[in-house]
Amino acid sequence: MAKKKGLSFYNRKKRKISPAHVKEIFSWLFGIVAAVFIAVVLNLYFGTATNVVGVSMEPTLYNGQRIYINSFLYMITSPQRGDVVVFLPNGNENTHYYVKRVVAVPGDRVWIREGVLYVNGEESPWVTEKLADAGIAASEFTVQNGEYFCIGDNPGNSEDSRSPNIGPVREEDMLGKVWFHASCEELGMGFVK
């Protein structure tokens, strides 16, 4: 009798999945999951972005400039004098983020006398412009633990720690340190010192 030609599913050899194939599949899956995890962590801690609002940080940062915030840094260390930080004044989530420079850290003595900012009895290198308004720093005081005295680089046009409604900034109200900025207007980019 002649054999019928056509499709036959019975004579087909079964393919075996080798351990090497299984290992390669899991290797690919692990790589994809690890890459997604790393991307999410990097975006959360290093890729948080906002725009500068106002002219209080000129000439360092300009109104409308896009800035990127390192939120991870202050989980392992504390803000330092000279850091440009982003915070919500008094933790108020109904306002925009403020961007200012830390000029005094916990334990520092702050005093504005005759338009000059003194930190621990010495002129601050971060504020070189005469300060018309001393605000709460008209008399010397000590910055408390967990608080930072922050002023804009353009102090004549800055609402900052001198203002009684803001005062020293609590560390828990800080979103993080500005580490990178880009300006659509200038089409330039740079790192913040």
Q: State how far the alpha carbon of 46 is from the alpha carbons of 39, 42, 136, 160, 178, in Å.
A: 10, 5, 34, 25, 10
Active-site residue identified among 8, 27, 100, 183: 100
- What is the H or E stretch that residue 190 is in? strand 188-191
Residue in 3, 27, 56, 183 annotated catalytic: 56
Q: Say how far apart CA 86 and CA 128 lie, in whole Å.
A: 21
Establish whether 100 is a catalytic residue. yes
User: Is 71 among the catalytic positions?
Assistant: no
**DSSP letter string, 18-52:** PHHHHHHHHHHHHHHHHHHHHHHHHHHHH-EEEE-
Q: Show which residues are catalytic.
A: 56, 100
